[in-house]
Amino acid sequence: MSVPLSYYLALSVVLFFLGAAVNLAFVGFADAFQAVDGQMFVFFAMTVAAAEVAVGLALVVVIFRNRATVYADDLNILKW
């Protein structure tokens, strides 16, 4: 009836190659081991991601304001 853990892991691997998908593996393991701890880590990962996005997008806006571009190829002032 329930979905096997290996299916969750397989989908997690596929999504990993597209982006980040560790949350899915956490939830899959939490389901398989019948422990809520995995879901706790997903909760914390989401919180950290929210903080990351806020600071990261603020950085992008500042870069755009100063350099008038957000293309990584144009941002080469750290090169020598």
- The whole-angstrom separation of Cα 60 and Cα 54 is 10
Count CB-CB contacts under 10 A for residue 50.
9
- From residue 18 to residue 57, the character string flagging contacts with another protein as x (rule: CB under 8 A) and all else as - is xx-x-xx--xx-xxxxx-xx-xx-xxx-xxxxxxxxxx-x
Distance CA 11, CA 80 (A): 42
Does 3 interact with another protein (rule: CB under 8 A)?
Answer: yes
Residues binding another protein (CB under 8 A)? 1-11, 13-19, 21, 23-24, 27-28, 30-34, 36-37, 39-40, 42-44, 46-55, 57-62, 64, 66, 70, 73
